[in-house]
Structure 1
């Protein structure tokens, strides 16, 4: 019997050909590529919602203060589902669970089309909530890639999956601008039909190409870790590595959603066109995903702490730029800084998260971390519209500064522990 290579299966792909691997490893050799494609389809769908949902909500809402509620429900639904999604993935496997999540996007897109066509605000809210279910499952794509490789390659694996969103980041807002007028009698309905198509394509790709690899097919080292006694969630949550991971994932996503939700409305309020709002989000999405091509290499060269701090600095640059001017170039620059800063914090925070648990602790740790992140971003998206309407764009950007400070302190605490030579929790 052939002895499987030691180390994580994803690590072996960097050194040997798929043909030379035992069948269990070769069976899932296309999974990273499949996940990158699915990330692209997800990004394309969600970017349409990011671009148009606040504007659609404004058009349909019986009370204009509810304009951002449909958009916020994407995050709220994600927060409610993400904890259960982690355990469903553990029970049913990633292939079927990811496909079920993508199917909810297809249904949500169709419900949104019907709602826009009939001018029904509350049904539209239900449609966007179903897209939030899709988002909850899609957030585990990056963790599926990270869990397959050793610590040395986790940042690169995460970046590879996120890189799948680069083309979609460009195509998504462009599709939104094109498809919003697809049905002249129902503005924006065509865009949500595209969202449904993206969900359907994701289901097909996952069912046809993705392959689950059972825990027994992993490395002997991973098997030994899986048999180790699991720590309580409270004990895991008190470790510096987990605190730093949550601080960066939560702060990065919360700040990003807070500013991005309000940006199209703020641009229109500052006398820019709706198409300008779509282009601003497009530029922002490029900033979110394009750094994935080199973020892993930056981590390897400069260290994880330096990349995390750079992400925080870029978020600060976003706030300063937005406070300084409401011109169109300032919107572009601020949202670009925001996107790149999110990428650095998200890749770094996810890398820390993937280092904070053993295989037996995976579902509860991932689920808890994602629940915290979604709960925080839900609050951000729910508050963005009312705060923008009452206090304005500049004040909205001032509000993110305390969040960035808390994240910087948590990151510095972890970095000091690393420099002092404290052992990293398993």
Structure 2
């Protein structure tokens, strides 16, 4: 395979540089997606021939991302991540350009195609953190993942601000904002093509590089993979369920629309801010401790939200939710990167991302109806059994790891 040739030409030290490049690209990607997330609902409503279709362009981001995810993984296994990531960023740039044209022409269906391009960009960008983890040894994986996610901190705040600043650049409303999506995708593609290099994958501790690939079902039955999936998938679903409903719940509780937007910005700081130190926390206190701390913060979110509907409670709950997601996501990704052999990478990563996308999409689509039917307090109670399930699966992995350490000592 082409990637295998490149892998052996590049020194492992390139992994550190790659993490920096990917962090910058994560920032560019997050800013581009934040523009789409901020404006696509409004643009869709403006262009839709039937107002019941107004959220379809927004849904296309998630749907296209889910469809492309597995193909992105398999494609990068063949052509290497450098060119795969570059292609993904070009999809994003093209999506932004198509969206500009759609807004100028008032073409709703063309706009759906443009947002699907951003969804394809998202599918490739979801592998940035895994690429960083694969290119460094076990002890450095958490730090590499955190470095990449830290790139989203400034972008999470900058993206909505950039959307507001650029929406009136042209006489046609929002055209300038989607031009920013095009430019951000193009900048990301250029940086990846010039600065990123395919490097040799570090096998997990105790695994020989030449070990053959196991059946996917065998890999997915491992306690370490199940714990990775529980933290990534459940953590992501819980976060999207509460985050999607929070602005609507805030308005229903007599807070302003601006308050709802500020709550989400504070939540985004909680999501990405801990990336600056999550890797160090894992190195100092251990992976399991950080994972359980993330679950505890999600529980704290639910408790605060149920206890009060004040604006302060919304801010505190959503901040706890963001930090809890970060700890579970960084920790879960670290576990995932340790769960497969080099020969299994593409299939296992693709399967894991499909699981995460699928449940996250269901949570996003279900947030509105659940909020309408059961209310804000009950919606937060719903997440508690999910967090408990993640905790049980993680505990099984912890016990298996301890047995693996103790058994050789007794022989």
What is the TM-score of this pair, normalised by structure 2? 0.87
Task: Show the counterpart of 1:245.
Answer: 228
SS in structure 2 of the partner of residue 285 of structure 1:
helix
Cα distance in 2 for residues equivalent to 1:264 and 1:271: 11
What does the per-residue CA deviation read over 1:28-52, in whole Å, with 9 as the maximum and x for residues that have no partner?
A: 6632211111011111112223333
Task: Show the counterpart of 1:177.
Answer: 164
Task: Show the counterpart of 1:135.
Answer: 122
Which has the higher mean CA deviation after the structures are superposed, 28-37 or 309-318? 28-37
Cα distance in 1 for residues equivalent to 2:104 and 2:259: 25
SS in structure 2 of the partner of residue 225 of structure 1:
coil
Structure 1 counterpart of 2:138, from 151, 166, 177:
151
The alpha-carbon deviation at position 247 of structure 1 amounts to 0.6
Task: Show the counterpart of 2:327.
Answer: 344
Which has the higher mean CA deviation after the structures are superposed, 399-408 or 359-368? 399-408
1:31 counterpart = 2:18: yes
SS in structure 1 of the partner of residue 339 of structure 2:
coil
For 1:177-196, what aligned pairs fall within 5 Å after superposition?
Answer: 177-183=164-170, 185-186=172-173, 188-196=174-182
What does the per-residue CA deviation read over 1:183-212, in whole Å, with 9 as the maximum and x for residues that have no partner?
A: 5652x4433322222111101111121122
Task: Show the counterpart of 1:200.
Answer: 186
SS in structure 1 of the partner of residue 84 of structure 2:
helix
Residues 236 and 389 of structure 1, relative CA distance in 2, 3 Å threshold: same
Cα distance in 1 for residues equivalent to 2:329 and 2:258: 28
Task: Show the counterpart of 1:125.
Answer: 112
Task: Show the counterpart of 2:306.
Answer: 323
Which has the higher mean CA deviation after the structures are superposed, 294-303 or 50-59? 50-59
Task: Show the counterpart of 1:6.
Answer: none
The alpha-carbon deviation at position 63 of structure 1 amounts to 6.2
Which has the higher mean CA deviation after the structures are superposed, 235-244 or 300-309? 300-309
Structure 2 counterpart of 1:45, from 32, 42, 51:
32
Residues 183 and 409 of structure 1, relative CA distance in 2, 3 Å threshold: farther
The alpha-carbon deviation at position 271 of structure 1 amounts to 4.7
Unaligned stretches of 5+ in structure 1?
1-21
Asked if the contact 1:246/1:349 (under 8 Å) is kept, the reply is: yes
Which has the higher mean CA deviation after the structures are superposed, 95-104 or 394-403? 394-403
Task: Show the counterpart of 1:361.
Answer: 344
Which has the higher mean CA deviation after the structures are superposed, 175-184 or 285-294? 175-184
Residues 387 and 58 of structure 1, relative CA distance in 2, 3 Å threshold: farther
Task: Show the counterpart of 1:80.
Answer: 67
Asked if the contact 1:154/1:351 (under 8 Å) is kept, the reply is: yes
Structure 1 counterpart of 2:289, from 302, 306, 322:
306
Task: Show the counterpart of 2:3.
Answer: none
Asked if the contact 2:295/2:391 (under 8 Å) is kept, the reply is: yes
Cα distance in 1 for residues equivalent to 2:10 and 2:220: 37
1:401 counterpart = 2:384: yes
The alpha-carbon deviation at position 60 of structure 1 amounts to 5.0
Task: Show the counterpart of 2:77.
Answer: 90
Please give the root-mean-square deviation of Cα atoms over the aligned residues, in Å: 2.8
The alpha-carbon deviation at position 357 of structure 1 amounts to 0.7
Structure 2 counterpart of 1:382, from 365, 373, 387:
365
Task: Show the counterpart of 2:57.
Answer: 70
Cα distance in 1 for residues equivalent to 2:71 and 2:43: 30
What does the per-residue CA deviation read over 1:82-123, in whole Å, with 9 as the maximum and x for residues that have no partner?
A: 111111111111111001111111122233334445555444
Task: Show the counterpart of 2:198.
Answer: 212
Unaligned stretches of 5+ in structure 2?
1-8
Cα distance in 1 for residues equivalent to 2:186 and 2:206: 35
Which has the higher mean CA deviation after the structures are superposed, 406-415 or 34-43? 406-415
Q: Size of the alignment, in residue pairs?
A: 399
Cα distance in 2 for residues equivalent to 1:322 and 1:32: 36
What is the TM-score of this pair, normalised by structure 1? 0.85
What does the per-residue CA deviation read over 1:222-257, in whole Å, with 9 as the maximum and x for residues that have no partner?
A: 998331121111100100000000010001111222
